[in-house]
């Protein structure tokens, strides 16, 4: 990489470090709700102030005349490095505050920034409120793509490289900058609405704010060890389901609904795919928990169906909230949840996984391949799927891109699951635990925790990082760095 490109990459990396430092001061909003001691404050003040000084110094010293332009390959390097730096800086408060050990601190931060929700805390009720709010803030901003949001505001129209590097493709409006602003306005409005809804169903403001951020971010961090199951109220679960679906679905659909005032926008292949998956896998989950060992686990059909439905939607939206102890579930139900986590949420939302649009494209590719063999060569067949009420053509290049991402996802899933199995974890639980990190979900069957082997923690950290950037940005970044050495 020529020195000028290195300079530009370091300059924007410095700007990211500065931004993370600023974000480290936001947990002090907890003062509006909870008392705060100096012992809890300084672990945020020190890394926050230090990150701002170092980051701003790098930006001021290295930015050049062409600082408004960042090519896609350089953006991939910035994004790949930026997420790792976010993990390190975001984990410092947990380490400096004596809440977690160093590896667990890194794990907690990566889980937060990537919107995963897996945790290293044994009992979150014992954690000071400022750390709980920090976890939620990381989820909320990380799932929104804090790096893209911040840098695109400065780069402006040339931010397309960053947008692509973070695996974002759908634009709400033609301008990247306007798309960023509109997304954040909608995202902020949803947070206010979610917090109010949680208050209306009986949560405290602190619990409501944290759970609204986590639900919209498809995250899963909770202020209680039992997660949503702590509240044990249908009203809370219904609000949570609504917010999970809202956050993980394509924001372009939301905007189209608002702009056209027509339900036609709901004619979308991703919505169809979600309904089909839930229609098949909710009953499968129900069967798995009803007769795991030949006996009914829960006390009634409505209760069992309620639990199965909530857990299936939590897995499908890649949120990770729970109302049941998955460690007691049978292999069939765990398999159903794993499939839902692998499928993932919608493109242009906060969810992870392969993404429903890619699964639709692959399934349609099979149909198109069969049709090509049934019709004469002279017949021209259109390859298209419904997106926000309109037929959108899919090119062979787009199908190839989809196949590459899906192949990398499946390969990584197999490698990660194998590593878990080598540590003595049964297949069903191994698949669920690693897919939970790779799809940035947060569900666990009791394997993930502070006592887990360090190798498994590192495996999950790598899975969260790769899953958040959807592989391609990391591959592009590594390829560029290795070629320029």
Percent of the chain past pLDDT 90, that is, above it, reads 54
- What the block records as the tokens of 289 is 């928990």
DSSP characters over 434-460? HHHHHTT----SS--STTS-HHHHHHH
pLDDT of residue 156: 47
pLDDT tens for each residue of 169-213: 555 555 566 677 788 888 999 999 999 999 999 999 999 999 999
CB–CB of 149/184 below 8 Å? yes
Q: Is the pLDDT assigned to residue 67 strictly greater than 90?
A: no
Beta bridge partners of 393: 384
Instruction: Pick from 25-39, 177-191, 434-448 the range whose average pLDDT is largest.
Output: 434-448
CA distance 413 to 434: 7
pTM: 0.91
Would you list the DSSP string of 338-360?
A: HHHHHH---TTSS--SS-HHHHH
Could you tell me the CA-to-CA distances from 360 to 79, 363, 367, 385 in Å, in that order? 28, 5, 11, 8
Measured from the Cβ of residue 128, the count of other Cβ atoms closer than 10 Å reads 17
What phi and psi, each to the nearest 5 degrees, are found at residue 393?
A: -70, 145
Beta strands in 112-228 (DSSP E): none
DSSP 3-state assignment of 127? coil
Residue 77: pLDDT over 50: yes
Residue of 289, 332, 293, 296 lying closest to 310 (CA atoms): 289
Helical spans, DSSP H, in 144-175: 146-155, 160-165
- DSSP of 249-309: S-HHHHHHHHHH--GGGG--HHHHHHHHHHHHHHHHHHHHHHSSSSS-SSSSHHHHHHHHH
Average pLDDT over residues 17-46: 89
Model confidence at 242: pLDDT above 60: yes
Helix (H) or strand (E) holding 393, with range, is: strand 390-393
Consecutive H or E run containing 78: helix 72-96
Q: State percent of the chain over pLDDT 70.
A: 88
Residue holding tokens 């090509």?
A: 372
| Ranges 244-248, 258-262, 270-274, 432-436: which has the least confidence | 258-262
Tokens, residue 251 = 């924001």
Query: Taking residues 211-223, what's their average pLDDT?
Result: 94
Biggest alpha carbon distance in the chain? 76
* pLDDT for the residue numbered 378: 60
pLDDT at 160 over 50: no
Dihedral over alpha carbons 59, 65, 71, 73 (to 10 degrees): -50
Q: What integer is the mean pLDDT of 31-54?
A: 89
Q: Strands 390-393 and 384-387, how do they pair?
A: antiparallel
In the predicted structure, residue 2 carries a pLDDT above the cut 70: no
Q: Burial letters for 333-363: b for 16+ Cβ neighbours within 10 Å, e otherwise?
A: bbbbbbbbbbbbbbbbbbbbbbbbbbbbbee
Q: What is the pLDDT of residues 293-348, one digit of tens each?
A: 544 467 788 889 999 999 999 999 999 999 999 988 989 999 999 999 999 988 88
Identify the residue whose tokens are 């925790």: 449
pLDDT higher than threshold 50 for residue 104: yes
8 A C-beta contact, residue 72 and residue 165: yes
pLDDT score at 465: 94
Helix (H, G, I), strand (E, B) or coil at 391: strand
Spatial CA neighbour of 434 closest among 321, 313, 341: 341
Residue 385 predicted with pLDDT over 90: no
Model pLDDT, residue 275: 95
Q: Give the mean pLDDT of 250-266.
A: 83
Residues 6+ apart with CB under 8 A from 340: 277, 278, 281, 312, 315, 316
Distance of CA 483 to CAs 13, 129, 479, Å?
20, 46, 6
Rounded Cα–Cα distance for residues 220 and 140 (Å): 10
Among 43-52, 316-325, 368-377, name the one with the lowest average pLDDT.
368-377
Q: What is the per-residue pLDDT for 153? A: 47
Residue 292 — very low, low, confident or very high, per pLDDT cuts 50/70/90? low
Burial class (CB in 10 A: 0-12, 13-18, 19+), 228: buried
Residue 55 neighbours by CB distance under 10 Å: 23
Residue 149: per-residue pLDDT:
56
pLDDT tens string 416-433: 999 999 999 999 999 999
């Amino acid at each position: 990489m020529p020195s000028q490109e290195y300079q530009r990459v370091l300059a924007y990396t410095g700007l990211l470090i500065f931004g993370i430092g600023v974000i480290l001061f936001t947990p002090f909003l907890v003062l509006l709700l909870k008392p705060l001691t100096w012992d809890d404050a300084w672990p945020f003040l020190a890394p926050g102030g230090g990150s701002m000084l170092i980051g701003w110094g790098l930006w001021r010293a290295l930015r050049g005349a062409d600082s408004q332009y960042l090519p896609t390959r350089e953006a991939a390097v910035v994004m790949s490095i930026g997420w790792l730096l976010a993990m390190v800086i975001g984990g410092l408060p947990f380490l400096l505050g004596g809440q977690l050990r160093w590896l667990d601190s890194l794990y907690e931060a990566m889980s937060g920034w990537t919107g995963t929700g897996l945790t290293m805390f044994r009992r979150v009720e014992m954690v000071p409120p400022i750390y709980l709010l920090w976890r939620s803030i990381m989820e909320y901003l990380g799932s929104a793509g804090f790096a893209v949001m911040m840098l695109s505001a400065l780069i402006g129209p040339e931010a397309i490289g960053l947008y692509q590097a973070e695996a974002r493709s759908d634009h709400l409006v033609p301008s990247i900058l306007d798309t960023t602003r509109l997304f954040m306005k909608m995202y902020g409005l949803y947070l206010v609405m979610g917090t109010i809804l949680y208050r209306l169903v009986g949560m405290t403001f602190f619990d409501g704010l944290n759970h609204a951020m986590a639900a919209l971010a498809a995250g899963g961090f909770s202020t209680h060890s039992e997660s949503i199951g702590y509240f044990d109220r249908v009203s809370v679960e219904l609000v949570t389901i609504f917010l999970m679906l809202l956050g993980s679905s394509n924001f372009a659909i939301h905007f189209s609904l608002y702009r056209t005032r027509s339900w036609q926008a709901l004619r979308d292949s991703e919505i169809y795919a979600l309904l089909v998956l839930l229609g098949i896998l909710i009953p499968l989950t129900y069967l798995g928990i009803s007769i795991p060992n030949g006996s009914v686990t829960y006390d009634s059909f409505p209760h069992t169906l309620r639990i199965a439905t909530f857990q299936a939607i939590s897995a499908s939206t890649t949120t990770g909230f729970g109302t049941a102890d998955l460690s007691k579930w049978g292999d069939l139900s765990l398999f159903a949840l794993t499939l839902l986590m692998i499928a993932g949420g919608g493109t242009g939302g906060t969810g992870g996984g392969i993404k429903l649009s890619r699964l639709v494209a692959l399934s349609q590719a099979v149909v198109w391949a069969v049709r090509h063999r049934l019709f004469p060569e002279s017949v021209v067949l259109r390859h298209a799927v419904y997106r926000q009420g309109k037929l959108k053509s899919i090119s062979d290049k787009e199908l190839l891109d989809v196949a590459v991402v899906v192949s990398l996802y499946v390969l990584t899933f197999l490698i990660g699951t194998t590593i878990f199995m080598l540590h003595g974890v049964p297949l069903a639980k191994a698949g669920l635990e690693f897919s939970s990190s790779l799809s940035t979900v947060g569900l666990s069957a009791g394997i993930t925790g502070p006592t887990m082997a360090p190798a498994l923690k590192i495996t999950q950290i790598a899975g969260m990082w790769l899953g958040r950037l959807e592989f391609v940005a990391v591959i592009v970044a590594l390829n560029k760095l290795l070629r320029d050495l």
